[in-house]
Structure 1
Amino acid sequence: MKEKLLIALSQALKGYLTEPNATRLIQKTLRTLEQQLHARYLYIAQQNRKTSYLDITHAHGVPRTALNDFHKKIGSNTIGRIFFKDSFNIITKNSSPDDYEEMRIETDYAMCAAAHIGWEGRTYGFLACYFDREFEFDLATRNFFLAMAGACSAALEKEELLKLISELRQFDIDTGLYSHQYFINRLEREIHDTQFEPHTLALAILDMDNFKSIINLYGEEAAREVLKSSAETLKKHIRGCDVLGAHGIDEFILFMPDTDAIKAAAIINEFNASLDKKTFTDNAILTSFSCGITQLRDNEEDLEELIQRAQLALYNARKSANHTISVEL
């Protein structure tokens, strides 16, 4: 029995290092548990971080009605012990009525094995396995079950980490704004949406007029601080639906749905006017931005052409003087 379970465990763990999708890994684990332990059904319940209730997030063989009805609190019975005291529990008809009823979903059962799901010293839920008959859960079986619960925990932890990395990639480290690639992806989607629901869209590229001179006088760290503070100031002048990203070393790129180039120019003028009243760092540094603005043409789908017009407008603004806005339609 022990060798059979070890073989099943090693087969179930294949792909855990390379597969990023936790659901596929967990479903494989649940199927293995069903086959090796002859379980009736299995599920993983996790705490909803918004409501603190437990919901079934992964299941195998659980009736659909039971999935929808499952909505439990962390009390002082079996579930509470899994979260705060014992990482493993066996519940049978000989257990306390409260324990038995707490783990009951839709129909009676002969035995249920439950183990915590968690990582970094915290419990986020549990794995439950139900049986039609009661049998001895010997050491080998228990270790197998706990190893499978650990594998599920590892898969979920990895998925959480990958989500965090993905979220971090959305942002530019120096400015805290959206990264250029994330901005471009959002702009592509917005342009695509205009083909189905036509609306105006303004695109602006802003260039910090004195970034290099600040570096020469006060150092790169001071220049980065001024750039980041300027980004925070600009955020106060735009709406929640507007999308602001990093662009190059000392530039911002901004698109504004339902806004034309004239309105966008007025917003950038307000931004520059607010900068005129501010100083940055202990050195009381002043700054301003030149800006090139364009807007989406009727039925336009070419992202690169839209950006090129904004860059051309910025080029024309730079040729004039600092603090200049140029529009290219």
Structure 2
Amino acid sequence: ETLNRSLDSPALTRTILTEAADLMGAAKAALLAIRGEVLVAEEVHNLSDEYRRLFCLPLSDSLSGTAVVEGRTVAVEDVDAEPLVDQVLVREGGYRSFLTAPLRSYKGTRGALSVYYDEPRRFSEDDRTLLRTFAVQAAIAIDNQRLMREKDEMALRDGLTGVYNRTYLELALDRLVKEARRRNGVASVLFLDVDDLKMVNDTHGHAAGDTLLTDLAAILASCSRESDVVARYGGDEFVILMPDTDAAGAQAVAAKIAAAVRRRNAEAQAAAPLSVSMGRHTAVGAEVSDLLRTADREMYAMKRARRSA
């Protein structure tokens, strides 16, 4: 029940370790994750950061790896009597005995859960079963949390292009406006529109139009920084929200996009070329709230000028 209440918390793994230690009467605990052919310590309880850094054990030749590979609880009642125990970890961890159970759920085995004791200890079959049962519940909780996060992420992504949707853009813009007002910060936005998308759909089919949208989204993502927000605003319109970016920085991004569009048209075998109109605006402080509206106006002014020409 405690684990289920923690599904929406970033501290789920710490909750798992605290609950496991309390349940098993252990002094310390660790959540172990599979990374290729080794196990690493993903989270620890009452163990040092150095222990977490040092923990890297092969799946094929370690007791913790045996728990994962064979799907059973492994018990070490005295670390001094077990030659496979890593003595460097024992010294850093300061424990004398431990239990390790696999983290298994309906999605497979993702690692292991270990609990550690400060003294040698005799483990009963009930001890092994109890930890194994708890580890299954913990693995299911971790998988469910990941599913919840993926679902939340999907709700904020455009289904066709994979970039963020308008809902997320508005949330990001609200955060940016508050931060810019607080720090009198600068921000820029690019507002982009795929030219003549309806004509492409009517002439070449909607698949060709979708290709233009997905190609542009990929170009925008590749030309942006990790801190920027690339979003499909609606239909044929896209936005790049760029915090802490002045006019020169925004112009540089716009130039990169224009060059990438030209390369795409020169190299692609698509049914229709990609043509993009672009509006750009930079604001400081409270004026950041007008970023989208101003960039939108500039983009449509650009489209009208091109049509007139």
Structure 2-normalised TM-score? 0.76
Give me the whole-angstrom Cα distance separating, in 2, the residues matched to 1:255 and 1:273.
19
The one of 3, 16, 41 aligned to 1:26: 16
Q: Is residue 47 from structure 1 mapped to residue 33 from structure 2 by the alignment?
A: yes
| Contact 1:127/1:149, CA 8 A, preserved across alignment | no
Deviations 1:268-299 (Å, cap 9, x if unpaired)? 69718944982797663134222333221x43
The one of 104, 111, 120 aligned to 1:124: 111
Give me the whole-angstrom Cα distance separating, in 1, the residues matched to 2:123 and 2:233.
64
Give me the whole-angstrom Cα distance separating, in 2, the residues matched to 1:51 and 1:113.
21
User: Aligned to 1:128, what secondary structure does the other structure show?
Assistant: strand
The one of 298, 313, 316 aligned to 2:301: 316
Counterpart residue number, 1:253: 239
Specify every segment of 5 or more residues in structure 2 that has no aligned partner in the other structure, as ranges. none
The one of 54, 68, 72 aligned to 1:83: 68
Once the two structures are overlaid, the 10-residue window that deviates more, 82-91 or 124-133, is: 124-133
The number of equivalent residue pairs is 300
Counterpart residue number, 2:140: 154
Q: Which has more radius of gyration?
A: 1
**1:152 positional shift:** 1.4
Give me the whole-angstrom Cα distance separating, in 2, the residues matched to 1:241 and 1:108.
43
Structure 1-normalised TM-score? 0.72
| Contact 1:26/1:155, CA 8 A, preserved across alignment | no
Once the two structures are overlaid, the 10-residue window that deviates more, 78-87 or 223-232, is: 78-87
- Paired residue type of 2:258: F
Identity %: 16
Q: Is residue 69 from structure 1 mapped to residue 51 from structure 2 by the alignment?
A: yes
Counterpart residue number, 2:191: 205
RMSD over aligned Cα atoms: 4.0
**1:147 positional shift:** 0.7
| Contact 2:182/2:285, CA 8 A, preserved across alignment | no
Give me the whole-angstrom Cα distance separating, in 1, the residues matched to 2:29 and 2:2.
21
Give me the whole-angstrom Cα distance separating, in 2, the residues matched to 1:42 and 1:239.
41
Give me the whole-angstrom Cα distance separating, in 1, the residues matched to 2:146 and 2:251.
38
Q: Which residues of 2 match residues 1-329 of structure 1 at below 5 A?
A: 13=1, 16=4, 19-21=7-9, 22-23=12-13, 25-27=15-17, 29-30=19-20, 32-34=22-24, 39-47=25-33, 49=35, 54-55=40-41, 57-59=43-45, 62=46, 66=48, 68-70=50-52, 71-75=54-58, 76-85=61-70, 87-93=72-78, 96-99=81-84, 102=87, 104=90, 106-107=93-94, 109=96, 111-119=97-105, 120-130=107-117, 132=119, 134-135=121-122, 137-138=124-125, 140-195=126-181, 198=184, 200-235=186-221, 242-256=228-242, 257-260=244-247, 264=251, 267=254, 271=258, 274-275=261-262, 278=265, 284-296=271-283, 298-300=284-286, 303=289, 305-322=290-307
**1:261 positional shift:** 7.8
Once the two structures are overlaid, the 10-residue window that deviates more, 181-190 or 270-279, is: 270-279
**1:29 positional shift:** 3.1
| Contact 1:261/1:294, CA 8 A, preserved across alignment | no
Quickly say closer, same or farther: Cα 1:115–1:302, change in 2 above 3 A.
same
Deviations 1:8-65 (Å, cap 9, x if unpaired)? xxxxx4662884332475156325514xxxx242412323749956226142xx3x5x
| Contact 1:203/1:293, CA 8 A, preserved across alignment | yes
**1:210 positional shift:** 0.7
| Contact 1:20/1:158, CA 8 A, preserved across alignment | no
